[in-house]
Structures are given as structure tokens and as C-alpha cells.
Amino acid sequence: MKFVILFLLLFHLLVLGTTAQSRKVFPYNYTIDDLPNGLRLVVVPTDYPNLVALYTVVQAGSRNEVEKGKSGYAHFFEHLMFRGSENYPPGMFDKVMQKAGASSNAYTSDDRTVYHATFAKEDLEAILKMDADRFQHLKYTEDQFKTEAGAVLGEYNKNFSNPFTKLEEVMRETAYKTHTYSHTTLGYEADIRDFPNQYAYSWEFYNRFYRPEYTTIVVVGQVKQADVLAMVKKYFSDWKRGDYTARIPSEPAQDKPRTAHIDWASPTLPLVTVSYRSPAYSDTKKDKAALDLLSIIAFGENSDIYQKLVLEEQKVDFVAAGSEDHVDPELFAVYSRVKKQEDVDYVRDEILKTYKHYTEVLIPQKKLDETRMRLRYGFAMAMNSNDAIASAIAPYINLRRTPETANKLFDLIENLTPADIRDAARQYFTENNQTIVTLSYKKQGGGE
């Protein structure tokens, strides 16, 4: 019994904290240094030995693809960044990484492109030097460019063999008419097929966004800030600031509900998504944080609708909801896969009833407290390595260029009330903000 009491006490201290320091969901000390050219360095010293995580966060994603016919370009450029540079010809990047025993990759989202690697800390300078060369002196031929364009088309075709990818594409283009969130990170097929003709534009994209003022370097490991800063200054100080600012069009208010349907050519279970326009990320305004908590309570695996549709009635094989943290106003969406076509309307209506329910009732305080405790605990406990720490803060680095925004967000969550959550639901879950998209199998020739 004494052990149980002690464990509960320690758990309480870990999750809820007793001082301002212990309450921080991101508990690590860190430093921020800004070079004169706009490049930012974030160093997070840890006690995890040997390995170092290097994350380079570029504030350029599909959101920045403002020209017609250029969707998917940020993702395409992620590929090109591995093609070689002035002092590291094609193949040299992989050789250096292999020699260092490094794990290296990258990803692109709506708002960011992130290059990440994990390796022995004695190789940090060599890899920073190589990274500096490709960020400042990227080099690829037109033939290499066309080869990579073919690889990206192959990736597109693979992803769009999945009906969920098509569902996401149509949901976005139905909900957004002006903003660049109207297309997915992969982009449109017609644009990707035209990539081989856009060699000159690729350099324009590089010169616009691969600039120090859009870039933050994150180093996590058993390192000294002064040593890392000296390396970054040595290799990145000559990188020139750019002068381009993307003009992202604002999305007008939606004036009526929107719907769309997709006929899928191969056998698949029906899909349905119900989404609403929702706010951009904020660590000072309550609305987005309130909806994030609501997504767990209203549509998570412990929710009433999940218990009903998945476990009791077994009409769907899953229900999932939520929205990522975006720079601009985004979509709060619920997805479900229905087992029988005749149940699609029923499932859609159950989702709509659940949305409406939370515009009318207050969540019990106990449920709210338990949900945010699990959220906080899960975030904190996931940071169990240098790479996991860097990965956890990379989205926040992109949004505000500091890990502190994670602490500010969880402080905001800690102070939310049931009324805050109901009020956010009332504000955003309105008929005029609604978009419903369905997908079902339809044989070619007209039969289902």
C-alpha cells in the first residue's frame, strides 16, 4: 500500500507539478541564438549520451505554393535537397551519413519542411558543414531534376491508390476556395506531371524560401551551446538573407454548407468525413486548444460515439478526429470508414449529432481534467531520446521559432474550462462552416 501511495504521489508531481519549473511540459533548458542573417539556432543540452539529433526546420510547405500550377513544389524540393551541392557531389551526402552511422530523412507538411538526422556527436561539425553547403550551394543538373520529378510522380501514384488520400484532397478543395490549404502537400497530379518542365522555377523556389530568415537549426544532445554556436557561425554566417515574402491569400468566410462525393473505381469500404472551419494555432487564444481537447473527448476511443458505432453497433471500423496546428485557419475533421453502404447516411448523422451535442452541453470537469492530464503526460513521456525531443518541438519551432510555445500551449490547456470548450464548439461548429465529403466504390459502367 505504501508503494502505491508513493507511486501516485510521484505521478502527481510529474504531471501536475508543484513549481513553475516542474509544470513545464518541455522540461529541458535550451538556448536561442540569432545570427545577423536571420538564422536561428536552438540548442537543447541533454544527458542522453553519444548521439546528437540535428533538425533543420524550414518555414516553407505547401502553404507557400501560391502560383497556379505549382502545387506539390515544397515536397518536390525536399527530394532535390538530397541531390548534391557545390562541394558534395551526388552520392557524397549518403556516404558521409553512412560513415557517421547516421539516420537521416526529411518530411514536408502544409507549413514546413524538416530535415533531420541522428548521429554520433563527434560527427556534428562534419555534418553541419555538409548541411551548410547544400542550404547555400545546392547543385543539380536538369537531368537529375527530371529524374527526381519522376520519383515524386511515382510517390504520388502510390499514395493516391489509397482512397483516404483522395478523400483528403477533395475535402480540402471543397472547403477552401482561395487559401493554399486547398491542395494537399503532395499537390495535384497535373502539376506533378509538369514538374520536368520547371527546372528554372525550381531555382526560384530555392532562392525564395531556402534562406536563413526562414530556417531554424535545432541541436539536441550532450553538447555545449558555445561549441555548437561556433560551428554554426563558421559554416552559416555567409548565408545571405533573402527578400521574398509569400503573399498567402486569405480564405473568405464560408456562407453555406458544402458537400462532395467521390466515386472510387476499385472495391473499398465507404468513407465519410465531416469537417468545420476552425482557428489557426495559438498559444494565447483559447479556441484552438479547446477544440484539440474536444477532439479527444468527443471522438476519441473512450468517446460515446466510438463506443456506439465501433464497439456496440459495429457499423464502422474506426472514428477519428482532430486538426493539426497550422499557421492559418484550418479544418477540424472527423473521419470514419463504414462497413456497409446503406449505413453511410446514418453514420454521417451520428457524427453531426455529436458535433451539435458539444455545442449544447458542458463537459464534466472530471473528464476534462483526466483528458488534459493524459495529454500532458503522453507528450512529456514521449520525449525519451534526443531524436524524440527534437521531433516533438520541431512543429512548435516552425510556428513560433521557440520550444517555449509548447509550454505556453499546455499552460493554456491547463486553464481551459468546460464553458471554454462549449463556447469554441458553438463558434466553429456552425452549418455555414461545414463540409461533408463521402467516398464509395462504383463500378465502371455505373453499377455499385
Q: Say whether both 271 and 230 belong to one domain.
A: no
Does the pLDDT at position 34 exceed 70?
Answer: yes
Domain count, the chain: 2
Q: What is the pLDDT of residue 443?
A: 78
Q: Are 360 and 9 in contact (CB under 8 A)?
A: no
* Cell output for 4: 502505491
**Is residue 8 situated within a structural domain?**
no
Question: 386: domain CATH number?
Answer: 3.30.830.10
Same domain? For 138 and 220 the reply is yes
CA 78 to chain centre: 15
Distance CA 229, CA 231 (A): 5
Residue 241, in any domain of the structure: no
Q: Is residue 249 part of a domain?
A: no
Residue 379 lies in a domain: yes
Task: Say which residues have a Cβ less than 8 Å from residue 182's Cβ, sequence separation at least 6.
Answer: 172, 173, 175, 176
Q: Which amino acid is at 407?
A: N
Residues 203 and 275 in one domain: no
| Cβ atoms 423, 360 nearer than 8 A | no
Cell of 434: 461545414
Residue 120 lies in a domain: yes
Q: Which of 201, 236, 271 is the last residue of a domain?
A: 236
Are the C-beta atoms of 300 and 263 separated by less than 8 Å?
no
Task: Classify residue 427: in a domain, yes or no.
Answer: yes
Q: Which amino acid is at 87?
A: N
pLDDT at 445: 64
Angle between helices 365-382 and 418-428 (to 10 degrees): 90
Give dist(CA 357, CA 351) in Å, integer: 10
Q: Are residues 264 and 229 in the same domain?
A: no
User: Above 60 in pLDDT, residue 9?
Assistant: no
Which of 236, 266, 282 is at the close of a domain? 236
- 35 plus 184 within the same structural domain: yes
In this structure, are 379 and 437 located in the same domain?
yes
In a domain, 246, yes or no: no
Report pLDDT for 17. 38
Query: Do 70 and 158 sit in the same domain of this protein?
Result: yes
Task: Write the Ramachandran bin of 101: left for phi over 0, alpha for psi from -120 to 50, otherwise beta.
Answer: left
Q: Which of 177, 208, 244 is nearest to 73 (CA)?
A: 208
CA distance 74 to 183: 12
Same domain, 173 and 53: yes
Q: What is the CA radius of gyration of the chain?
A: 24
- Residue 422 sits in the same domain as residue 356: yes
Please provide residue 321's backbone torsions phi and psi, each rounded to the nearest 5 degrees. -150, 165
| 394-423 pLDDT per residue, tens | 999 999 999 999 999 999 999 999 999 999
**Average pLDDT of the residues of the chain:** 93
Q: Does residue 363 sit within a domain?
A: yes
* Residue 78 · residue 57 · CB < 8 Å: no
Is the domain of 38 the same as that of 164? yes
Expressed in percent and rounded to 5, the helix, strand and coil fractions of the chain are 50, 20, 35
Q: Do 177 and 263 sit in the same domain of this protein? A: no
Measured between alpha carbons, how far is residue 281 from residues 323, 329, 395 in Å? 10, 8, 11
Q: What whole-number percentage of the chain has pLDDT above 90?
A: 89
Domain identity same for 94 and 224: yes
pLDDT digits (tens, 9 = 90+) for 76-98: 999 999 999 999 998 888 888 88
Sort strands 113-120 and 316-322 into parallel, antiparallel or unpaired: unpaired
CA 234 from chain centre, in angstroms, equals 31
Note down the domain range covering 187: 27-236
The residue among 206, 236, 266 that closes a domain is: 236
Q: What is this structure's pTM?
A: 0.92
